[in-house]
Amino acid sequence: MPVGSQATVKSLTPEDLHDIGFEILLANAYHLYLRPGTGVVCEAGGLHQFMSWDSSLLTDSGGFQVFSLAPLRTIDDDGVTFRSHIDGSEHRLTPERSVEIQEQLGADIIMVLDDVPAGGAGENRLRQALERTHRWAERCLTAKRRTDQLLFAIVQGGGNIDLRRVSAKTLASLDFPGYAVGGLSVGEPKDVMYHVLRETVPRLPPDRPRYLMGVGAPEDIVEAVWCGVDMFDCVLPTRVARNGALYTRDGRRSIRHSSFRSTWGPVDIDCDCYTCRTFSAAYLHHLFKCDELLAYRLATIHNLSFFHRLMRDIRVAVDEGRFRSFRDEFRERYRCTDETVRLGQKHAHHAARQRVNRDPFQAV
């Protein structure tokens, strides 16, 4: 699912996304509740009409965004009180209020409010968040009124395998129509994330969608599917596109590199997206060097096309019973971002978020 937190996938139109082939997007209840407000979206006829998207939508509850506002929020067993990162105004979010907001927005799939512990949290905090998430999941089920929306639960537990198993078993017993795995890709090494998935996903109902939240590197998608995951969302494809990083079957490449200055073919000869069919890598290099706005759109189209094609190829490989060989071939060919560099970038992004969160009036 491409991420359109504020009812838009940055730099693209709904027509662009349909042309690529996407049938579902993610929007964020936290951002839309604060701006423009659920009242405005309701006046428009709901989120689909507001953003002119006639296919499926999923809204995150906003739990991750609220809990990332560490200096601006306080948590208790009933819910969380937080200050807006936009204007500093105070708000109260409970499981019931989260469901109410998402029902007003009108997405097809909505998420429970969960307690998201920080990466590296100790066992006591992980256990507290787990028990709170389970109680809140039950409250969300009770609060749900609309019958035309699916409510997904969220498994927590950090890197603690025992807690993950308990969470999966507890939430599976509540008979949700879908299940998400949250609290990963928050700074832990990839082998820890994969171990958690291997031990958690098989314990979720096999006849329900299983969704890995906020994870979207190509190598992570392939490995997570191997573990049994069905759905993904991540800002990575669009965010790195705006920085000039383009995905290919061989790995991520920076279009800003001087080697592209006179490259008259496409960025990726294996890609049939609008960008690669129409423009040379040299032209894209020029656009980024000149900070032209078109650069962001073309790079985003390319990256989302890469991810859509990857998911299509995975589905075909699964259907044909050859996903093991597909996984092996992908791992052999695709060059991943260096782990040290990846963690450094993630920590730098988190630190930047925290600086903004300490001053809610600072421009985001």
Contact 27, 5 (CB under 8 A): yes
Question: Which pLDDT score is estimated for 186?
Answer: 87
Q: Active-site residue among 114, 115, 233, 268? A: 233
**pLDDT for the residue numbered 347:** 56
Give the model's pLDDT for residue 358. 53
Q: Which of 105, 107, 110 is nearest to 39 (CA)?
A: 105
Mind giving me the DSSP string for 75-117? E-SS-EEEE-TTT--EEEE-HHHHHHHHHHHT-SEEE-----P
Bond prior to 36 in cis (omega within 30° of 0): yes
**Catalytic site residue 108?**
no
Is 201 in contact with 193 (CB distance < 8 Å)? no
Closest CA to 20 of 34, 28, 9: 9
pLDDT at 363: 41
CB contact set of 173 (below 8 Å; sequence gap of 6+): none
Instruction: Tell me the domains of the chain and their CATH numbers.
Output: 14-234 (3.20.20.105), 239-333 (no CATH)
What pLDDT does 120 receive?
87
- Note whether 227 and 194 are within 8 A (CB): yes
d(CA 242, CA 235): 11
Which residues, 6+ apart, have CB-to-CB distance to 292 below 8 Å?
none
Q: What is the mean pLDDT of each run of 10 residues along the chain (364 residues)?
A: 98 98 97 97 98 98 85 93 93 97 98 92 96 98 98 97 98 98 92 97 98 97 98 97 98 98 97 98 98 98 98 98 98 87 56 52 42
Is 328 catalytic? The answer is no
**Quick check: 7 and 50 in contact, CB under 8 A?**
yes
Helix, strand or coil, per DSSP, at residue 242:
coil
Q: What pTM was estimated for this model as a whole?
A: 0.93
Q: Exactly one of 19, 60, 270, 359 is catalytic; which is it?
A: 60
The gap from C-alpha 64 to its chain's centroid, in whole angstroms, comes to: 11
DSSP 70: G
The two tokens of residue 351 are 């630190």
Residue 141: both structure tokens together: 């089920």
- Number of continuous H segments (helices) and E segments (strands) in the chain: 16, 12
- Predicted confidence at residue 49, as pLDDT, reads 98
- Cα separation, 108 vs 287, in Å, equals 38
